[in-house]
Amino acid sequence: MNSTMRDRLIAAAKNAAGNAYAPYSKYRVGAAVLAENGEIYSGCNVENSSYGLTICAERVALFGARCAGATKWIALAIYAPQPPVPLPCGACRQVMAEGGNAPLVIVVGHDDTIREFAFKEILPHSFDMTM
């Protein structure tokens, strides 16, 4: 992925964080997925007083991509405007595992520090029914 596309992906994640609904945790997160078709799909976390109904930004972005017909993705950027660094939770990691080739996860902290991970680094032994 070239730097222009990476910058666009990060900008989409930052923009999405502005739409987060996080009245309980106060932890706003935005995510953006670059699909194999070249489109970017974004999402934000949405909390609910019934905590089990809360959904993470990563899953909103990935599910939005799926709803639009994008079944394979190239990269996912995650941004939070406050600490700590927004590493994806286990549920999001498992959803990512079923999202196709999943090669790159870009994490952007509140201080604009960027870390990149190959997906297998953050979930080396995901559950896979095809094994």
Going by C-alpha positions, the residue among 8, 9, 2 that lies closest to residue 105 is 9
Cβ contacts of residue 102 below 8 Å, gap of 6+?
73, 76, 96, 119
Residues 87, 43, 83: CA angle, nearest 5 degrees: 35
Q: What is the DSSP string of 98-110?
A: TSSS--EEEEE-T
**Interatomic CA distance for residues 95 and 57, integer angstroms:** 12
Supply the residues annotated as catalytic: 58
